[in-house]
Amino acid sequence: MNFLEEKIVKEGVVKKGNILKVDSFLNHQMDVKLFRQMGEEFKKRFADKPINKILTVEASGIGIACIVAECFDVPVVFAKKSKSVNIDGEVYNAEVESFTHKCKNQVLVSKKFLNPEDHILIIDDFLANGCALQGLISIVSQAGGTVEGIGIAIEKGFQQGGKIIRNLGFQLESLAIVESMDASDGSVVFREQ
């Protein structure tokens, strides 16, 4: 097991409905030392890529993305979520459907902060169905930029997002891939990487 898998086994809580609660270290209270280890691991995995900017989406991707950005010594931009569909011409936008929350959101990034010279590493905390990621990929392509890679903390390997994104040809690196989990005994099984 790697450092993140160990942390998940130690502090993660498996909830009914295939939900993994990791709010003691990832998306409520945040273990910044762990985030730094994650950033250093992403630096290794994307060492050959000319990354000049990190992109994430609010809310819980932001903390990780900031520390990753510090490791890469590049700026970080987060896409904002909005219920409104009244989008002015100053932003790139994509519609993102959340299966977990059963709603649709727009995600927006100001045109000021993405451009054709950008080589982007997308960072997020969870990958489930991949809708949020597909929205971010769409926004980078609207800007004429390049997605150099995607770094995820926890991928739910039994949902479709990872497969879809890898089939599109992106380098997707998830630090922990959960193959299965069981709320009755709290066990988590990881994919061998």
Numbered residues of the known binding site for 5-phospho-alpha-D-ribose 1-diphosphate? 128-132
- 5, 41, 118, 125: residue in contact with Na ion (rule CB under 5 A): 125
Rounded CA separation 97/131 (Å): 6
Nearest to ligand G4P of 114, 150 (CB atom):
150
Helix H or strand E encompassing 185: none
By the rule CB under 5 A, 130 interacts with Na ion: no
Q: How far is CA 18 from the centre of its chain?
A: 18
Which stretches does DSSP call E strand in the chain? 13-15, 19-21, 53-57, 76-82, 91-98, 103-110, 119-127, 146-156, 172-182, 187-190
Nearest to ligand G4P of 59, 189 (CB atom):
59
Nearest to ligand G4P of 52, 138 (CB atom):
138
> Residue 129 binds which one of ligand G4P, Na ion, none, with CB within 5 to 8 A depending on kind?
ligand G4P
Q: How far is CA 138 from the centre of its chain?
A: 15
Nearest to ligand G4P of 52, 97 (CB atom):
97
Q: Identify the three-state secondary structure at position 176.
A: strand
> How far apart are CB 59 and Na ion at their closest, in Å?
7
Owner of token pair 């097991």: 1
By the rule CB under 5 A, 60 interacts with Na ion: yes
Annotated binding site: 20, 27, 128-132, 156
Residues at the contact surface with ligand G4P, assessed by CB under 6 A:
19-22, 27, 59-61, 98-101, 125-132, 156, 161
Compose the 66-95 pattern: x for residues touching Na ion by CB under 5 A, - for all others: ------------------------------
Judge whether 43 and 71 are in contact, CB under 8 Å: yes
Q: Which residues pair with 123 in a beta bridge?
A: 151
Nearest to ligand G4P of 52, 98 (CB atom):
98
Q: Maximum distance among all alpha carbons in the chain? A: 51
By the rule CB under 5 A, 61 interacts with Na ion: yes
